[in-house]
Amino acid sequence: MNREFNFSLDRESRLPHSFQEASKIQSKHLVEEYMLLANILVAEYIYEFCKDKTLLRCHNDITAEKKEKLYAFFEKIGISDIDLTNAQTLSHSIEKVKATGTQDDLDVLNRKFLTCLTQAKYVCVEDKEPAEYQHYGLNFPMYTHFTSPIRRYADLLVHRLLTISLKEQE
């Protein structure tokens, strides 16, 4: 669903005068997967070694009311094999639609699903079970922002935590 576009700019006004969808090459997918993996591994590491100072990116499950509305919507448009029980069943459902449905079905499913999600938030770890720190939207049990320290302050904080914990392990 993440689409990228190339814009052509008018030389004088510097305003776009045309655009086209950019093709996404396989290497970009590979980089995305490695970035996600790095964020997961760093989250797990700092959770183990930094305890209550760990900064995680958490995302709660969809409310029961919103799930009911999603089921009704998907049934109405003919996408009935969606299981919203948890993040894993949802992920499997999306994979099924990718394999058997159309791109339009997948686009509608993703867009409608995204409108029902709650806002993800940063949390410092407290005395809770790791299951309470899941990232529902990405279907990861634990996640942090680590891979963009020049864009997000949270990533910079995580880099600092990681550096300190690695130095302490020496």
Cross-strand partners of 105? none
- Say if residues 53 and 161 touch (Cβ distance below 8 Å): yes
Between CA 88 and CA 114 the distance in angstroms is: 16
Q: What is the mean pLDDT of each run of 10 residues along the chain (170 residues)?
A: 62 70 80 95 93 90 91 87 88 88 86 87 81 86 93 94 92
What pLDDT, on the 0 to 100 scale, is given for residue 6?
Answer: 66
Which single residue is written with the structure tokens 């990681």?
162
What pLDDT, on the 0 to 100 scale, is given for residue 34?
Answer: 96
What pLDDT, on the 0 to 100 scale, is given for residue 166?
Answer: 94
Q: Residue 89 is encoded by which pair of tokens?
A: 């069943």
Between CA 170 and CA 159 the distance in angstroms is: 17
What pLDDT, on the 0 to 100 scale, is given for residue 1?
Answer: 44
Between CA 90 and CA 59 the distance in angstroms is: 15
Where is 69: in which H helix or E strand?
A: helix 64-77
CA of 59: how far to CAs of 31, 49, 56, 157, in Å? 23, 22, 10, 19
What pLDDT, on the 0 to 100 scale, is given for residue 32?
Answer: 92
What pLDDT, on the 0 to 100 scale, is given for residue 122?
Answer: 92
Cross-strand partners of 9? 16
pTM: 0.76
What pLDDT, on the 0 to 100 scale, is given for residue 4?
Answer: 65
